[in-house]
Structures are given as structure tokens and as C-alpha cells.
Structure 1
């Protein structure tokens, strides 16, 4: 059910978010840009998928039931061949705590605050995949990504809600 089609050369991205609408938006955005997308509703399911499926990158929310993004990042960092994780959250704005910095400290390749512009996430993904291919640290946003080759499907300029 989750297996990538034979002969496919696209990178596989695992989207982890308990919000069905957020997953739909991300799936549509990433699929439109040539990524093979797999989804999980929480970190526990994501860990199960990581054990059986070849995945190149994870885009994960931080706050989810059963196994949150912090636990998922720690589990991925402990893997024999860890994959890059891009952590996202909108909770910082109402708690005053910087959960994205904490995710970065745990080993996330990059962090992004919801809502975010779709093209920014696409550039973070490109940068993280390029760095992983070279096994180096993620470089600053957009330093190596191709300029504006990205397709933003109609209605998906903002992902994770609209700014206030």
C-alpha cells in the first residue's frame, strides 16, 4: 500500500501530522513537486513506517497523540542511517515557548513555524535532501536550492492555516 512504484526515482517524504487537512495540503504540495508521499497520523505510526519503508525525509508536526514530534526526532536520530527531519508547529505562538528551537536542538535538520509559505518548505526540503546526500549539515535556507522551479498548487500558497 505504501510502496513506491518500481523504477521511480523520486524522493520519498513521510508527512507526520495528526491534522488530516494539514496532511492533505502537504501531500498535494509535495506530490505536485515530484515527491513520493507517505502519511502518518502520529509518531508511532511513522516509526513503524520507517522500519519497513525506504524514506528520504520526514516532515513532522511536533504536537501529536501517542508519540509526538520530539520523540520521533529522537528515534530517527538513533537509527543506523537517520534521515533528515523538518519539524513544524504552530503552538509556539500561543504558549510563548520555543518548541521549534527545542526540535532543532534534538536534531531536526530544519524547523518551520505554521502557517508557512509553501515555497519556503520546498526549499527547506531540497536543502535537507542535498545535505543528506552529502552527509553534511543543512545549509541556510535556499543557499543551494534551485530558484523558483517549484509548483505551488492553487490554494496552497500558505500551508498549515493562514496568517492572522
Structure 2
């Protein structure tokens, strides 16, 4: 069973994503910001990390950078809905720093599940 860490300061979205992934058979953990997420990842690495970009304390770009330093093999999905003018550029930067998939909020949970499965299948190859 793949282990997935979900990092997002929006509690309702984070819990919804966790529920969808739990129902799909994944093991999930949650963190409310990048600092908490990195701490949880250090204690128990995940196969996949789903992170928001705009968060307090440690934002997603810095979180992705640190995740890549800790584990070059971890799969990362970055998501953002903040800053209508800058949303695309944040996601572009996330991809350049090593996010395997980027999603613009709002997105359908089916799109997230497809992205999760694609990332994890690529990891198995």
C-alpha cells in the first residue's frame, strides 16, 4: 500500500483528499504546512507527497526543494489555487523544482486520483 503525505493549510480540502485516497486504498497522513510536512516526512518517508504551494510557515516551493534534498525518488504533486495572476507561474516553478505533476485548484478528485496513480506507476518502473 502506497503511503501519501498531504500538505495543505486548507483543512477541509486536506481532509477531503485524505478521505478520497483512503477510500481508494492508500495510506495517508496530513500536515497543515510545509514545516509540519517535512517533519513528518523525515520521521516516516512517503512514496508520494501532495503539497499546496501557497501556505503559511513554509510554502510549497520551499517544501518541494527540501523534499528533493531529502529524497530524489519521492513523487510530488503540487497544487495551487491562490493568486490568479501568478498561479500558473507558481506551478511552473514547482515543476522545474521537481514536482512530477501540477494541478490548478479547483480540480476534480478523479483528476487527482489519476495523477496519484500515474506517479505511483512511474515509481514502480
CA positional deviation for 1:92: 4.5
Instruction: Find the counterpart in structure 2 of residue 20 from structure 1.
Output: 11
Deviations 1:68-92 (A, max 9, x none): 1101100111124431110000024
Q: TM-score, normalised by structure 1?
A: 0.72
**Which has the larger helix fraction?**
2
The unaligned stretches of length 5 or more in structure 1 are 1-9, 135-164
Give the aligned length.
Answer: 125
Q: Compute the RMSD of aligned alpha carbons.
A: 1.5
Aligned 8 A contact 1:100 1:111 in 2: yes
Matches within 5 A, 1:119-158: 119-134=110-125
CA positional deviation for 1:64: 0.7
Q: TM-score, normalised by structure 2?
A: 0.93
Deviations 1:73-115 (A, max 9, x none): 0011112443111000002425465211111111101000011
Cα distance in 2 for partners of 1:83, 1:95 equals 26
The unaligned stretches of length 5 or more in structure 2 are none
